Chain A
Amino acid sequence: MNKPLPGTGSGGRFVRLAETARPALRLVIDGAPATALEGDTLLVALLTNGRRVRTSEFGDGTRAGFCLMGACQDCWVWTEAGQRLRACSTAVTEGMAVRTTPPASLWPVTPEVVARERGEVFK
């Protein structure tokens, strides 16, 4: 049985119009397995597998990239190790695993954070 190509079904936001004969790649998005095609940017992989790239940290809903040319920085995602990637200018590689939320460890380790992690009250 052939699974439909990502971007040709109804699940994704972007629609593939051509160049669909490229080899498939596997990746992991927020812990869930997904497929892309060799030569896809990470942004295209995210938006042929789903309808969002991330959720705005300002509480106004989902985002799905904006400029695709590295100018707006809307499409930041993170590797499992916590490295920030700009999805529109990063090529997908086999086995890549990304998170669409920033790792908590990226925040500066302030005394409040240390206290909270220890279950203490910061004074």
Chain B
Amino acid sequence: MSAPRIVVVGAGPAGVRAAQALVEAGVRPIVVDEGRRDGGQIYRRQPEGFTRTHALLYGSEAAKAQALHRDFDALRPHIDHRTETLAWNVTAGQLHTVHAPSGATATLDVDALIVCAGATDRLMPVPGWQHAGCYSLGAAQIALKAQACAIGSRVVFMGSGPLLYLVAAQYVKAGARVNAVLDTSSAMPTPAALRGLLQRPRLLWRGLALKASLRLAGVKLMNAVTPLQIDATPDGGVSAVVVRDAHGNERRFDCDAVALGWHLRAESQLADLARCEFAFEPLSRQWLPRIDACGRSSTAGVYLAGDGARLLGADGAEAAGRLAALAALHDLAHERGRTLFAAEQSALQRTLATMNGFREGLAQAFPWPHEHAAALPHDTVVCRCEAITAGELRRSVRELGSQEVNRSKAFSRVGMGRCQGRYCGHAAAEIVAAAASIPVEKIGRLRSQAPVKPLLMSAQEHE
């Protein structure tokens, strides 16, 4: 057959390893990435002219980051790398892209599409979170890693998940002032959570060491908190975080910046537009595209890997990216691809099984506190794009009769703003489900719309 036309979306750990597998098999893929440089979010490269070392930037993961960057640099002559390019729609056999700086559009015919779109932070609204100085946890890390800045001069970290402690520790190490780390999950994981975490003992140990280093640095760490309020003024921005502690006492932490995050949510819009089937994953309480053990979606020719499909973290993404690319070549009856696939499939799947066990442990140790969403005061802003409150969402159920999230979206506009539901969608589903007394998995799934991110009105596709 003629050379297969394969497009990889994303140049993070999954996308880079997918592209590498394709090149090894003799295929020249197109790699579409929104970033100016490769690495994705986790191994984001600082701009040219910055001088911090890999060891300083990526800590214990420096060797992996360096390997990924080095391997991608070696791939450059063998791929068509399209930077600052948004994949904004998928139609039958075609991917639609736009180059952000120039507005130039392209329609790419694909025999196989490997989507490695990554994840964003998962957010839980807190009264006041819409104000200036409140950031996602990922934002706090990007400010430091990619720009050598702290998001404020006194920072409070609040949420749950391993990233909470990692970013706080990175801030302390870089010389930023961290006033508190407030975790909604309890300090002691359940036996089931621990069993999962012990699948990767080295990572578990590193997590415990991070907490110890923060304590040693004098940072206040609290578990089992209930977020009550982010004190702020419309003009001045945030000034404090108020929580209820495990003993029921109200605690206030002064700050001029807050980093919020509860683990991650998959960027699964392209999979949705490609009409891939989704399934509700009860452990993390989110909808994820259905994939088989090799990353095949339910749509022929569409493969999904990395955190955009399963939230396995960077190591899992590297394995999943490679496996999905080899599976794509196998399915296209590509001879060298088939040989590589046969040789590596089982080992890659075993790696992914270990990563998945650990993921399950994490999801149980740092649960999404869905009950907070259901209990948010009526006047809490849920959609920070358009300042729409929890009360308005509940009204869509109680007064307008909605029993489904897409209907509540139409009634309230929650999920229609600039972020297209990325930061309000999960909480909105919990609020609607609680108001309607329907389990969240029965309340429906917010449908993705093209374009997956806003385009300029001037963008034009040419035939």
Contact = CB atoms under 8 A, between A and B. Distances in A.
A21 B34 CA distance: 28
B152 A68 contact: no
B235 A61 contact: yes
Q: Size range of the interface on B?
A: 35 or more
A105 to B, nearest CB: 12
The B interface is mostly helix, strand or loop, or mixed, namely loop
A68 B36 contact: no
Contacts of A16: 148-149
B406 to A, nearest CB: 21
Interface string B123-148: 00000001111111011001110111
Nearest to A54: B132
A62 B175 contact: no
Nearest to A15: B150
A39 interface: yes
Contact of B135 (A21, A68, A86): A68
A121 B138 CA distance: 50
Nearest to B383: A58
B147 A63 contact: no
B230 to A, nearest CB: 12
Contacts of B456: 83-84
A71 B151 contact: no
Contacts of A13: 132-133, 151-152, 237, 256-257
B422 interface: yes
Contact of A70 (B135, B233, B423, B453): B453
Contacts of B412: none
A65 to B, nearest CB: 7
A39 B145 CA distance: 13
A72 B49 contact: no
Nearest to A62: B132
A56 B422 contact: no
A71 B419 contact: yes
A91 interface: yes
Interface in A41-66: 41, 44, 47-48, 51-53, 56, 58-66
B138 to A, nearest CB: 6
Contacts of B150: 14-15, 17
Contacts of B139: 65-69
Contact of A62 (B41, B138, B149, B234): B234
A62 B100 contact: no
Interface string A64-103: 1111111111101000000110100101000000000000
A18 B148 contact: yes
Given A7-B149, A51-B236, A91-B47, 18 more contacts: A13-B132, A13-B133, A14-B151, A16-B148, A18-B148, A19-B51, A21-B51, A41-B146, A44-B147, A61-B232, A66-B134, A66-B139, A67-B120, A67-B136, A68-B136, A69-B139, A71-B423, A89-B84
Contacts of B48: 39
A7 to B, nearest CB: 6
A39 B50 contact: yes
A14 B50 contact: no
B2 to A, nearest CB: 35
Contacts of A39: 46-50, 147
Nearest to A60: B387
B176 interface: yes
Interface string B358-384: 000000000000000000000001001
Given A44-B147, A51-B132, A59-B387, A18 B52 contact: yes
19 contacts: A13-B256, A15-B150, A16-B148, A17-B144, A19-B46, A19-B50, A20-B148, A39-B50, A39-B147, A51-B237, A61-B232, A70-B34, A71-B120, A71-B422, A72-B385, A74-B385, A74-B418, A83-B456, A89-B36
Interface residues of A, number: 45
B51 A66 contact: no
A14 B143 contact: yes
Contact of A61 (B100, B121, B149, B233): B233
Contacts of A62: 131-132, 234-235, 237
Nearest to A58: B387
B91 interface: no
A19 B236 CA distance: 28
A71 to B, nearest CB: 5
Contacts of A20: 148
Nearest to A20: B148
Given A13-B257, A18-B174, A52-B237, A72 B149 contact: no
A22 interface: yes
Nearest to B234: A61
Contacts of A15: 149-150, 152-153, 176
Interface in B403-419: 418-419
A39 B41 CA distance: 17
B454 interface: yes
Contacts of A69: 41, 120, 138-139, 142
A72 B419 contact: yes
Contacts of A56: 130, 387
Interface string B312-353: 000000000000000000000000000000000000000000
Contacts of B51: 19, 21
Nearest to A106: B457
